[in-house]
Structures are given as structure tokens and as C-alpha cells.
Amino acid sequence: MKKFLALFVAVVMLLSVSACGQPAEETTAPPESEAPAQTGGTAETTFGIEPLPEKTTIDLAYFSGAEHGLVFYIMDEMGWAEELNIEFNWQYFSAGPAMMEASGSWDVGTAGAAGAINGIVGYDVNVIGISQYEHILGCYIREGSEIYNAGQGNVDEAPNIYGDAESLKGSTWLLPLGTTAQQTLALYLDYFGLTTDDVTMTNMDVGSALAAFRAGEGDGMILWTSTNVTAMEEGYVTACTCDDVNGVYSTCLMATDEALETKFDAVTTLFQLYFCTEDWMMENKEEMADMYYAACQVEGISCSESCAQYTAEMYEGLGLEKAIERMTTYVDDPLGLLDRQISGGEFDVLDTMDFLVSLGSYTAEDRAAVLENNRITSIVAEAVQAKLGE
């Protein structure tokens, strides 16, 4: 039984599942990746990354069912983490806010920008990289509902979305609050001159939202990743997607203060491996789909094989070169509030944060503190860049 599955079963005692890969005795060495080997390491490892001098445990905040979390699953299953002397102590989450509340118990994790902002404002969490840009996130309604009957084409800028002000006002939506799901709902409503104060938002994780919607609760639900695709497969109508609204839907690679202080070399090595694994995923979509499906089966996440294939097709990771570039190139602050330029990573996260500030979820002082305290930091990307001799 693979390491990830064994650890998952140990943590989730009530699950009874079989291994998602070959038994241990049939496991072969990791295949050679099609991603380019990196300079500054050793050819003895899959990606040419220099292993840590001794085994190091990374306490990992794993986002179940999310593509940005899948990267860790793949590097573990393929043996790439092990060959670099990295082992994971897995902790499982399905939403960013809960992950941040538990930040005292993990070193590294991934989450959407809204969840990461919760961590960099209220906890000792730092964004160290931009993992990917989300595309699989949508607002769903039932066929025949008032929102559905209002039809499409009521907004010139977004002709595919359903609804109008009359049908949406007073509606009830099921979604995880404080996340990009809430951002999407707010931007969707804004097309019709409405705000989230004009609707009822019921806070629940995406799996619970889908189950409750099936049972007849709510007028709409907002889902991401596998639950999003499941909703499409079950015939629910896509009222609006994150691609229909004006937002940067970044997901973030994060590390806690303690991890950066006590495990910096390990975090740096893991950063390099994370984005090399992304390169492999983008070049091996079929294998990614198989592993995403397997991971969902282990975690009890609703996912069909076609869902996994769709997820792989839509996946847009940065990969190592772009990930370093994003954190080490600089642009002007879009609000013009700083006397310095900001990194591309800061720009991506601030796109979501500035929206949440406009909703009153955070203050301008929170924004200033995040930048002043360097909570969206390029220190790890710069260390990898130096190691590669770029």
C-alpha cells in the first residue's frame, strides 16, 4: 500500500478503501520525467534536484480534491519526495479558513488566494509562490428555477451567465465563505447591481453544499474542482463561472514562519520539486488524470473518470520557470499606495485582497501590514533561482 494511502487511512479511521496504485512489492522506480532537468543538482534524482543531506519531515496541509494539492500527492506517489529525503506528515482540509486556523500544526500547504489571505492577515503564514490559476469554479442553479428562467444574455460583458436582478435578489446560495467562491458570487451579482447583502449566503464546504443542493436546499451553490465537474455531470446549470467575471483566481503555495526559520533548506527544495512536478503534470495529462481520480477515491471525494480527465485538461500550473519569474519580477501597485513596486505574486494575491477589502472583509490597514511585513515573500523563489545559477 502506497505511503499516502497508508497515512490517510491512519488519520481517517472510518474510511475503508483499497490502495490506489500497485502493491508495494510491484512498485517500480519513478519514471524519467519529460520535464527538463534542472542545473545545480544531481542527475541521480528524477529532476536533477539535490537531495537534502538527511531525512526531513514536512508537516503538510493538504487540500483534498484540489489540483494544487494533487501536486503533493503525485510527488509522493512517484517517489520524488522520498528521493530528495522529504517525507510528509499529512493533514487534510477542504477549505482555506480551517487550514489557517490549524496553521500552528503545519509547515507547508496550498490554498486559494482568499484562504491564503486569511492566513497572511490573521496567522503566521506566508505566501511563497503562486501555484496555479483556477478555471474550475462555478455558480450552479436548477433548470426551471427563477434564475434559470430569467435566461442568458442579460449582461453584454458576460452573455453566457444566467439571471437578472429580480430573480437573484433574495436568493439563497450554498458556499464556503471567505473563499474565492464568495468572490465569484459577489462579482456575479455585481453585474446586476447587487451585492452579497442582497442574497443569503449559507456557509458550508463544497461537498456539503453539493449534498444539500441535491436535497433541495438553496437556490444556487458555488463549487470548485471535482464537485464543480460533478455538478455539470448531474445536469445542474452553470449560471456563472470564474472565467465569466473579472478576477485573478490564483492559488498559493504557503509556508509558516516557523518552517521558514527552522526548515528553510527543506522548504526551498520542496518549492523546486513542487513546480517541477507541475511541469510533469502539464506534459503528462493522462497520467495526471489517473492520479487525480485515484487521489479522490482515497479521500472520499466525489469524482468520476471523466471528471478527472476534464480536471487534467483544464489544469494550468505555472511550472518552475514561470513560478520563479512570477515571484521575482515587479510591477506597480495597482492602487498606487506603495512607494515601491510589488512582485507578480503580490499582484495576484492583492487582486483578491483588494476585492475583499472593498467588501469590508479586511481593511486598508490589513493590506498595508501584509506588504510591510513581507507576507507574500520572494525569499524562497530567490533562493531557488540562486541555486540554479540564473
What DSSP assignment string belongs to 324-344?
HHHHH-EE--TT---SS-EEH
Q: Per-residue pLDDT tens for 18-75? A: 222 223 333 333 334 444 444 444 448 999 999 999 999 999 999 988 899 999 999 9
What are the tens digits of pLDDT across the range 314-340?
Answer: 898 999 999 999 999 999 988 888 888
Residues 152 and 163: their CA atoms lie apart, in Å, by 7
Give the per-residue pLDDT at 14: 33
Query: What is the distance in angstroms between the CA of the first residue and the CA of the last residue of the chain?
Result: 40
CB 80 within 8 A of CB 127: no
CB-based contact 243:135 (threshold 8 Å): yes
pLDDT at 355: 85
* Distance (Å) of CA 185 to CA 220, 312, 371: 10, 25, 27
What pLDDT does residue 390 have? 53
**Residue 276 pLDDT:** 98
Give 145-199 pLDDT, tens digit per residue.
999 999 999 999 999 999 999 999 999 999 988 778 888 999 999 999 999 999 9
Task: Please tell me the predicted confidence (pLDDT) of residue 31.
Answer: 38
> Strand, helix or coil at 215?
coil
The predicted structure's pLDDT at residue 226: 81
pLDDT given at position 97: 85
Whether the full predicted model's pTM is greater than 0.85, yes or no, is: no
- Farthest CA pair distance, the chain: 63
Tens digit of each residue's pLDDT (9 = 90 or more) over 124-148: 999 999 999 988 899 999 999 999 9
Residues 88-108, mean pLDDT to the nearest whole number: 93
The model's pLDDT over 341-378, given as tens digits with 9 standing for 90+, comes to: 999 999 999 989 998 898 888 999 999 999 999 999 99
DSSP state of 384: H
